[in-house]
Chain A
Amino acid sequence: MTGVFSLLPEGQPGLLDPLLSGAWLSGGGEDLPRYLAAGGYAALPEPGRLLDRISAAGLRGRGGAGFPAAVKLAAVRDAPGRPAVVANGEEGEPGSVKDRWLLRHRPHVVLDGMRLAAAVTGAGHGFVYLSDAPAERAVRRALAERPTGLHVDVVRTEHTYVAGEETAVVRRIDGGPALPTAKPPRPFESGVQGAPTLVANVETLARIALMHARPESAEAVAGAHLVTLSGTGREGPATGGPVAGGAALAEVPAGTHLKALADLCGHGRADSVLLGGLFGGLHGAGWADLPLDHDRLAEAGGALGCGALHFLHPEDCPVAVATEAAAYLAAQSARQCGVCVSGTRALAGTLTAVARGTADADASGQLHRWSRGLPGRGACGLLDAAARVVGTLLAHFPDRVDGHRHAVCTACSGPAPEDGRRFTVPVP
């Protein structure tokens, strides 16, 4: 069971803020009458003013890269051609549930945000991109009952780690496989059928809708985050290894300390954390005082990514966690870039040998070298994620890594599962 919490103050009744307020968690959730009564689908703004508001509030994209939303909107608006907008609800990180939760339970706030993004960019065509069947049903219901406006198509994709990457999104919508392409061009220059295309995460769009409905709270709305929290659950013979447990979806203010997030989902004993889904690396000493903030986490050598955090307890082995992450990423490689196929295989294989105590003497040196040299070399971020997991393991847990040379680690004795089960959180 994945819990749902909000650390934000409840909005006044009838207002749209916050995304997870009690009003939307009970009483059958969001439908058109309730969404309209809450102030949704309000008259379109003067596009420049909404863009200024988004820019002033500092909204950053919620898909993982954290790029300033206003910069992306303006780039799409200013590119030659009639733009398209995509609500990207395909969350590939196994430890994240926020995007699917939003589409399943609050499709109108996402569609409203897409309508506003289309107004800002001048787009004439919208797409909702997803793989989750319950989310698709909710979106189709919402599309059927919403006020007429932007032409919107629903595009279904496979659920893979890379399917939500922005160039994979464009390729799939254009009828191809959901696999990344080399950049440049980025979708804002040349996206769906060559048109400048805004590929925006569904939470980003929802926040734009909230900022339109509640201009006086724009900064708080832009700073708040949906986060997915989990830790290692009970090990059971039926699963063949550790699974994600103590999971929660939460909406929290900007700058919340990571320790407070661990406490929120019953992982108060945690002594380390895996950040950003699998993208932000492992962090030990000092992690608890880090704030939920793109720049501060980047300074600490991590990444907030899509806001998924996986907590490790003192009895968990960080080497085992990193090995499973690397094995999963190697299995999820799109197998397009030779360097990704060879690089993830080398990282996962060598780390597995380290975990079992069978590695060559220079294994750590090799892992160090790959973790520094491989980032940025693939067409998407998968190889970067694998390199960061390994690099942060070596940087923050050198003694735990070294210990595997001298004594058998029971947590690392079996084959590392490639299905990401340790990190996979069920959608609440």
Chain B
Amino acid sequence: MKLLLDATRCQGYGLCQDPAPELIDLDEWGYAQLRETTVPEGGEEAAAAAVAVCPNSALRLVK
């Protein structure tokens, strides 16, 4: 599974990092930065939570 970030949608709410700190960093301006694109085994739930929490649908998971 891959986690994809649409940088045109990220508004820097910063909510996605809480559920998925292993997958997502926030940069100095608060924008999401993916640490990994490929979701490691066992990380699917965290990735799905990050996708769900973004108010602007900037994240998505693809197979």
Contact = CB atoms under 8 A, between A and B. Distances in A.
B7 interface: yes
Interface string A170-192: 00000000001110100000000
B29 A182 contact: no
B12 interface: yes
A228 B47 CA distance: 46
Contact of A338 (B4, B12, B62): B12
Contacts of A340: 7
B8 A342 contact: no
Interface in A357-386: 373, 377-379
A379 B8 contact: yes
A182 B33 contact: no
Contacts of B53: none
A352 B4 CA distance: 34
B41 interface: no
B11 to A, nearest CB: 6
Contacts of B33: 339, 373, 377
B15 interface: no
Contacts of A377: 7, 31, 33
A337 B9 CA distance: 7
Nearest to B12: A338
A35 B11 CA distance: 52
B7 A339 contact: yes
A336 interface: yes
B36 to A, nearest CB: 14
**Which among A184, A340, A342 has the highest number of chain B CB atoms within 10 Å?**
A342
B6 interface: yes
Nearest to B27: A339
B10 interface: yes
Interface string A322-351: 000000000000001111101100000000
Contacts of A373: 27, 33
B6 A379 contact: yes
Interface in B5-33: 5-12, 27, 29, 31, 33
B8 A337 contact: yes
A339 B6 contact: no
B6 to A, nearest CB: 4
A379 B8 CA distance: 7
A338 B10 CA distance: 7
A338 B29 contact: yes
Contacts of A337: 7-8, 10
A340 B27 CA distance: 12
List 10 A-B pairs, minimum CB-CB distance, nearest first. Answer: A182-B6, A337-B7, A336-B8, A342-B29, A339-B31, A338-B31, A379-B8, A379-B7, A337-B8, A338-B12
Interface of A: 180-182, 184, 336-340, 342-343, 373, 377-379
11 contacts: A181-B8, A182-B5, A337-B7, A337-B10, A338-B11, A338-B31, A339-B27, A342-B31, A373-B27, A377-B31, A379-B7
